[in-house]
Amino acid sequence: MELLSLVVPCYNEEENIEDFYEEAMKQEPFFAEKHIAMELLYVDDGSTDHTAERVRALHEKDKRVRLISFSRNFGKEAAIFAGLSKSRGGIVVLLDCDLQDPPSLLPQMYTLMCEEGCESVATRRVSRKGEPPIRSFFARRFYHLINRMSDTEIVDGARDYRMMSRRFVDAILSLEEINRFSKGIFSWVGFETRWLEYENVERRKGETKWSFWKLFRYAIEGIVGFSTAPLAFASFMGVFFCILAFLLIIFTIVRAAIFGDKTSGWPSLVCIISLISGVQLFCLGIVGQYLAKTYMEVKKRPIFIVKDEI
């Protein structure tokens, strides 16, 4: 019998654990008919509420429910990595606990995967209905920017909700970087991927775990992880200002030779100095971002630490 693993990252999702279980198990008859068993792997990302207890209670009722608990909050990316590496199924699905990734799409995803013979079926929401407009605006800008800067295609509106073959999962796990950006990694590993589109669904219960700043840092993660264009931009700015300075020097010399030097231009000098030092610090900051990420990678710390596992 084949095994289908559902990997579910959870961070303070106590109200959603049972709802998710029920929704997911509604799909069971479809898979049972195809001789596919299911396992539900909840990854408790260091929750401070009763998430782990709720999963434990489910495990008592149904042994197909598994749990990995982290020693602290390592972030969704670490939870995804842990879930994928501990999953046992030949087919693995990654989905959120808040039911924003409707399990009712599972049969359709499976059918698509079999019919098309592809290694992964990904989902994309066609609308951002129900999301704060500012968040949508910055999300759109981010996708536009990163796709211009990176060779890896990052699809706007793509969810992390995805069905994958074992081969695809192993390919993802072979990327052991700590600064993980799954949306890029999924695309980077290649293989045939089919896209399934659906209308945005709002979170069932509780609140989003992503603040604006958390998302902003995640966006920087994506850019630094999948593009070196900002480094080239820093060099470009350097060359640009060198040429500008050179032209200014010539201009100043010629002007002094013709009209004499009346020591004017003090304010404009201050402006130029502050502009150029601003640009220098900005470029230094870009280099710093890459250096910091490299530093973290070189340490080779584990991506997550398990406290408990059932």
Whether the CB-CB separation of 68 and 86 falls below 8 Å is answered with yes
Query: In the range 118-177, which residues lie near Mg ion by CB under 5 A?
Result: none
Matching residue, tokens 């959120």: 96
**Least CB distance from residue 47 to ligand UDP, whole Å?**
8
Matching residue, tokens 């969704």: 76
Contacting residue, 23, 36, 39, 100, with Mg ion by CB under 5 A? 100
Complex with Mg ion: residue 203 or 293, whichever CB lies closer = 203
Where are any strands of DSSP class E within the chain?
Answer: 2-10, 36-44, 65-70, 91-94, 120-125, 158-165, 193-198, 306-309
Complex with ligand UDP: residue 119 or 222, whichever CB lies closer = 222
**Least CB distance from residue 92 to ligand UDP, whole Å?**
16
Using alpha carbons, select from 198, 39, 226 the residue that is nearest to residue 129: 198
Complex with ligand UDP: residue 105 or 286, whichever CB lies closer = 105
Complex with ligand UDP: residue 119 or 142, whichever CB lies closer = 142
Contacting residue, 44, 45, 77, 98, with Mg ion by CB under 5 A? 98
210 backbone dihedrals φ, ψ, rounded to 5°: -110, 110
Which residues lie closer than 8 Å to 104 by C-beta, 6 or more apart? 23, 26, 27
**Least CB distance from residue 143 to ligand UDP, whole Å?**
14
Half-sphere exposure of 142 (CA within 13 A, CB side): 24
Matching residue, tokens 């989902």: 123
Binding site for ligand UDP (CB under 6 A): 9-11, 13, 45, 73, 75-76, 79, 96-98, 100, 203, 208-210
| Segment lying near Mg ion (by CB under 5 A), choices 97-105, 164-172, 248-256, 268-276 | 97-105
| Interaction of residue 203 with Mg ion, rule CB under 5 A | yes
**Least CB distance from residue 228 to Mg ion, whole Å?**
31
Helix axes 166-173, 76-86, angle to 10 degrees: 130
Which positions lie near Mg ion, rule CB under 5 A?
98, 100, 203
